[in-house]
Structure 1
Amino acid sequence: MEYILENSKLRIKARTYGGEITSILNKENKEEYLWNGNPEYWKYHAPILFPIVGKVADSKYRVNGKVYELPQHGLARVSEFSMIDKKEDEITFELKYSEESLKVYPYKFSLKSNYRLEDDGVRITYIVENLDDKKIYFSIGAHPAFMCPIDKNDLLENCYIEFNKIENSKQITLTEEGYLSHSSSDCLKDTNKLILSKELFKNDALVFNDLKSNKMTIKSEKSDKSLEVDFTGFPYMGIWAPKDGAPFVCIEPWFGHADYYDFNGDFTEKEGINSIDVCEKFSCTYKVTAR
């Protein structure tokens, strides 16, 4: 089921399937800022990545010697959440463990997604709660796809991502299968600008673990419309678009990442894995501002 929230600046839509936001419409300039989910390019809008980010080797992973299977980005994005609270400017969805989820992810959990309007922005919060009788382990991330160009009359070659600090950052190289390698390559050198193009993502996503910035903004040389993402606190960042020149770009703050190509350890030993003790909660927040 889909729900609508609005204030004087924005109208947003969010749905129980995947617990994701599906639309961010600026009421003043009439532009849609979030990808429409056309399956010709990509059928999602802003999926929640949980309990894995990216891929685990051959879609399999081990917990205490037992093998489980999960598809890329985990189970949340293809699960039906429940709407548990709705106010005029805020809505919360929840996904709880089930007998089916325990077959692929051996932990009892609650995952909430909260969307709150704030002037011309949307604050998005994910909350993971441990409902088990033992420590639980997980990765979590966001995968919002933003229209690029934002202006319907603009062109991709005019667009760029602006960082709020000067960056000297390397991107982690991915294998052809989408796993992390142990090498990196120069990407941002003494600049706060990443020029967008169809060729930029020919080798899959750009993955960073050393950004100084905590904000990124999609801009254009030919338009004053922009989309800012504040990802304060997230240790990893992915930037991605399909290779076929789709009219969107994903800015993906993560707590966790895909397996390294040669990783064969226990799930609890993964680099970047998160854990919470019995009855504890983990939360992370990012904010999208559509101007």
Structure 2
Amino acid sequence: MISIANEHIKVSFSKKGAELQSIKGIHSNTEFLWSGNADFWGKFSPVLFPIIGALKNDTYSFEDKTYQLPRHGFARDMDFDFEEINEHEVLFTLQHNEQTLKVYPFEFKLALRYKIHGSSVCCTYEVSNPGNKDLLFSVGGHPAFAAPLNKEGDYTDYYLQFNNDDELTYHHIVDNLISDQTSTIKLHNGKLCLKHELFYDDALVFKNLKSDSISLLNDKNYNGLDFNFKDFPYFGIWAAKDADFVCLEPWCGIADSVNHNQQLAQKEGINTLAPNGFWERTWQVTCF
């Protein structure tokens, strides 16, 4: 485990997947991330790259060749190189290699830069294209936050507060793919109460979320967090069945639709980066 800390929080990571694994309040001793209990879901905050969600039949085509990739891609299961920038900032990097090129025919450099300041953690995804052709990719986050915090209270004591939505229209998932079927949840003053049944049919996937900040709050005490994200066109909210966490997932990309033709260049939400290009997005969580 790799850790950085200040007087407010201590944050820990694994080199595997450059995965954030703990955000702990120094004074309150509160753990804000999910415990990683493998009986429900054994991850904490995986990076999703070079795809998000599932491909139709787990395959895609590019330049008349067919390739296979697992759900959410391969980066989350690979060991990243690590560099400590200073006592409050770390950088993890992953580059293409012989194995990645067999399933994803692009040269790339993916970096995850984590910074802490006050009681906030910033996660920045940085994508570079060292190749001589366009790089096609998706990237996104999957952090799981504990609910309840400190095991105080119940799941249903917690709610999500949206800063700019009064209703949520989400796409249903069918066999891991995005369908055209939608449902709408009416919010009361931007508030979505958590209950396990919300996620019994998989994640809630949003294509037109207006909010760029979501807070995890509760009715029992002051503890919670603010999750801020900008320029992520898609968003997912998910929890494993009956697990005491909620994932807040900002995405630049989305799973295949049920009707997708499996052409990577025509995939919804795919990002295109020119040779020698650079791309970045940041999300931030502030704990209290």
User: For this structure pair, what is the TM-score category when the shorter chain's length is used for normalisation?
Assistant: over 0.9
Deviations 1:88-143 (A, max 9, x none): 00000000000000011110000000110010000100101001110010011100
* SS, match of residue 162 in structure 2: strand
Residue equivalent to 1:21: 20
- Long gaps (5+) in structure 2: none
Distance 2:29 2:83 in 1: 30
**How many Å apart are 1:154 and its aligned residue?**
1.4
Distance 1:183 1:88 in 2: 47
TM-score calculated relative to the size of structure 2: 0.97
Stretch moving more, 37-46 or 278-287: 37-46
Distance 2:79 2:247 in 1: 23
Distance 2:186 2:133 in 1: 42
Structure 1 counterpart of 2:236, one-letter code: G
Structure 2 counterpart of 1:162, one-letter code: Q
Residue equivalent to 2:5: 6
Distance 1:235 1:212 in 2: 10
* SS, match of residue 223 in structure 1: coil
The count of residues paired between Structure 1 and Structure 2 equals: 288
Residue equivalent to 1:162: 161
Deviations 1:231-285 (A, max 9, x none): 1111111000012x11111000000100001211410111111010000011000
Matches within 5 A, 1:34-113: 34-113=33-112
Residue equivalent to 2:221: 223
Matches within 5 A, 1:228-243: 228-243=226-241
Identity %: 36
* SS, match of residue 101 in structure 2: helix
Deviations 1:48-78 (A, max 9, x none): 0000000001111111121111100001100
CA contact (8 A) 2:51 2:71 kept: yes
Structure 2 counterpart of 1:261, one-letter code: V
TM-score calculated relative to the size of structure 1: 0.96
- Corresponding residue to 1:198 among 176, 196, 203: 196
Matched, 1:274 2:271: yes
Distance 1:247 1:169 in 2: 22
**How many Å apart are 1:41 and its aligned residue?**
1.1
Structure 1 counterpart of 2:209, one-letter code: L
Matched, 1:262 2:249: no
Distance 2:187 2:2 in 1: 43
* SS, match of residue 100 in structure 2: helix
CA contact (8 A) 1:145 1:250 kept: yes
Which portions of structure 1, spanning 4 or more consecutive aligned residues, are displaced by more than 3 angstroms? 188-191
Distance 2:15 2:186 in 1: 38
CA contact (8 A) 1:33 1:146 kept: yes
